[in-house]
Amino acid sequence: MTTTVEEQIRDMVTTNDVVLFMKGTKSMPQCGFSSRVAGVLNYMQVAYKDVNVLEDADVRQGIKDFSDWPTIPQLYVKGEFVGGCDIITEMTLSGELDQLFEAKGVSYDKTAADKIREANA
């Protein structure tokens, strides 16, 4: 039995607390937007699964259909689509990302999150 791309994506976002669909990998992002979101998650020491959409054209298109969101990167927390680069940047700076992680029980470095806000104040 073969699984559809939609089933693969649903499985990834439900079996991992935090998933970032991105161009490249968390250690080697291949676009500025993916790099920014991965950088925030890495800096805040969030454990997350990175999915390189450049390795699979079906997943690259599939994630856009799945979320009804046209761009990559896309961040999911506990199965819920959070947003792309601009939204994650905004949420990080406003403290909303901290609140989301706390509400969902996702571990992160609060001090690092505060440092990001101080640096961008």
Model confidence pLDDT, tens digit, residues 15-31 = 999 999 999 999 999 99
Segments forming the whole domain that contains residue 48: 5-119
Considering only CA atoms, give the Rg of the chain: 14
Tell me what the mean pLDDT of segment 33-62 comes to: 97
Indicate the pLDDT class of residue 7, thresholds 50, 70 and 90.
Answer: very high
Q: What is the CATH number of the domain that holds 64?
A: 3.40.30.10
Number of domains making up the chain: 1
Three-state secondary structure call for residue 43: helix
In terms of Cα–Cα distance, which of 77, 103, 58 is closest to 20? 77
Separation between Cα atoms, residue 14 and residue 88, nearest integer Å: 20
At 121 the pLDDT is: 84
| Cβ(102)–Cβ(52) below 8 Å | no
Tell me what the mean pLDDT of segment 71-80 comes to: 97
Three-state secondary structure call for residue 73: coil
Tell me what the mean pLDDT of segment 68-97 comes to: 97
Q: Is 31 annotated as a binding residue?
A: yes
